Structure 1
Amino acid sequence: MTLSLIFDMDGTIFQTDKILEISLENTFNYLRESKLWDKETPIEKYREIMGVPLPVVWENLLPNYSMEVRELANEFFHEQLIANIKEGTGALYPHLEEVFSYLKSNNYSIYIASNGQIEYLKAIVDYYYLDQWVTETFSIQQVQTDDKADLVSTILKKYDIREGAVIGDRLSDINAAKKNGLTAIGCRFDFAQEAELSQADLVIDDLQDLKRIFT
């Protein structure tokens, strides 16, 4: 079908939910200790918007707060995420290594395009040795917009990719594929929403399904 596959990171490759709650709770505890927050941690709200760039996250979680407070929260949260990754609290999705090995051995090029920040993505790639399969990992910080379609476009231009697929769990991944003329493969995983998945060209329930698709 295609030779170039672009994967989302959070909720597609990496089980972010395993470090999300504790990292977010730690961040809002920090805000409470700093007398900047006195309510419950908005974990469900974050789950709803999972997949958007972090600046957008804090616009939603701290809508009536200054940019300074949002940046403070973002920095602390980012540090907590990375610390939890390095402690082994997170995990890859089941069969990820098996599927990546299969794709690589069958001459598929693998890339990662994520709304995550550079240091965060590097922590995951380094901890799980993803570089043995992944050609390059791209962060939304590498483009001037918050549109993942622009990030995917950057990958296509750099590697002269004409055909391919974007594999991800959220609408931003599906739109990024379609805006760039690629196949959109939705992942029915932790943060996925059926209304968004309905817009994908294909939907998988397990990463092993990719071995069937790319035979």
Structure 2
Amino acid sequence: MFPGHRTAAAAIALTGVTGLGLLAVGATRPPPRPPRPPAPAAADPATGQPATPAPPLPHANPTRVTIPAIDVRADLVPVAVTSTGELEVPPPDRPTIAGWYRLGVSPGEAGNAVIVGHVDSRDTGPAVFFDLGRLRPGDRIRVARADATEVTFAVDGVRSYPKTAFPADLVYGAGTVPRLRLITCGGRFDERERRYLDNVIVFATAVA
């Protein structure tokens, strides 16, 4: 169990924090809400297995994530854990970048690589992962790495979880197949608490 796993349920409040002031920006018009994923199917998206899974690669820092289906092309910065044990997030003044959890595996290695991104910004509105809820099984996610390789992942499923029931084992669990988890905030926006109540998680598996 590596650092971050212990505090995942509390830590992944993450991108809702930077979106807290969004409602205050347009007093006469409500802000757009991030799309919700479809209702869960019977299959567990965390165990997706393509017909030809990609073999694991050695460690290499990721540099960029591209998701054509929702027009995302974002630089990646490493994030870790704060002094209070919470997952770090990308700088709030840079809502168009995403963060790779550097204490876990890198995308392409065996196990679950984790990338987090803001859902919205008080200053600019929708942020890098605003449309994660639109992804569907089979959509492709490409991650460029510092060793000049690129790993392609196929989406297995998208789910929304209450922040009080964050599925830490499904997100941070180990394994022999290269997998990817993309995380942002979503669900209902609590007007009084000024935060989103859920996390949207994309489950994906590397394909050859």
* Normalised TM-score (structure 1): 0.27
Greater strand fraction, Structure 1 or Structure 2 = 2
Greater helix fraction, Structure 1 or Structure 2 = 1
Larger radius of gyration: 1
* Normalised TM-score (structure 2): 0.28
